[in-house]
Structure 1
């Protein structure tokens, strides 16, 4: 386990400020509330899924990069990273099913 993950912040030149920001990320996303928010961000970013053909590839990849950045800062093991990705995939499936049910309900009118 690395103490400090390989994180690059071009806007922070001072290593003390970089470590301080890293600790803030860990404090925020290490809490139960932060993990809930992270799961929502993963869902919104489509983390754990692929962009549909003719979908907004660049935008979606940018969102996924933010999620990957946060996960890297949290310094997760491969197993923990896989668990987050599995959870994101499960949430995406649930979201897609709910959307489909909503669309089906609307088509009945």
Structure 2
């Protein structure tokens, strides 16, 4: 399927795709289901957490990569996201088509 985004941190790769999944590759493949096309993904600096756009409202789901446990949902209120990034301090940054950048604390 078409892939829309890729990130690489600490030996871990994440991708978002048209098939409503975020994929993680770290020696084995894991998939995280989404409610909409995954246009944006991000890995935390150490590669242990995955964030991805999940839904037409551009909510962001954050998961622990190893346990696949959902850690948080961020309701961005933005249009379709075209970028997600984790800062070195662990803050989540979302970028959307309306030229808006937002910063989030995710615990």
User: Which bin holds the TM-score, normalised by the shorter protein?
Assistant: under 0.3
Higher relative contact order (CA 8 A, sep 6+): 1
Structure 1 or 2: more strand by fraction: 2
Structure 1 or 2: more helix by fraction: 1
The alignment's TM-score, normalised by the length of structure 2, stands at 0.26
